[in-house]
Amino acid sequence: MLTVTCAGGTPPGRAMAAAPMIWHSLSAVPRATALGVSLAAIGRTLETMLGSRRVTTFIDRGREYNVVLMGKESDRASPDDLTNLH
């Protein structure tokens, strides 16, 4: 089972971290692996949905713009929103 650090609590047996964290176990990892989904893809998805990720740039009339993916703010407002990711 994989444990992911996000953000409010300390996992058992660990010293208190400088920043608040929560620990979420990904019980779906064996299923994802069986379906050919890598842990890196799971990590990138969590990064994108809970934070943001610059994926490319585009040029319009000589100016370059970043293209940034992120989940809706209302879908990433609390630690409980982890349970809504599919």
Q: Cα–chain-centroid distance for residue 4?
A: 9
Q: Which residues contact 79 (CB under 8 A, 6 or more apart)?
A: 6, 7, 8, 22, 24
What mean pLDDT comes out for the span 45-61? 87
* pTM of structure: 0.53
The CA distance from 52 to 10, in Å, is 24
CA atoms within 13 A on the CB side of 78: 3
Model confidence over 2-50: pLDDT tens digits? 444 444 444 555 555 555 555 556 667 788 888 898 888 888 888 888 7
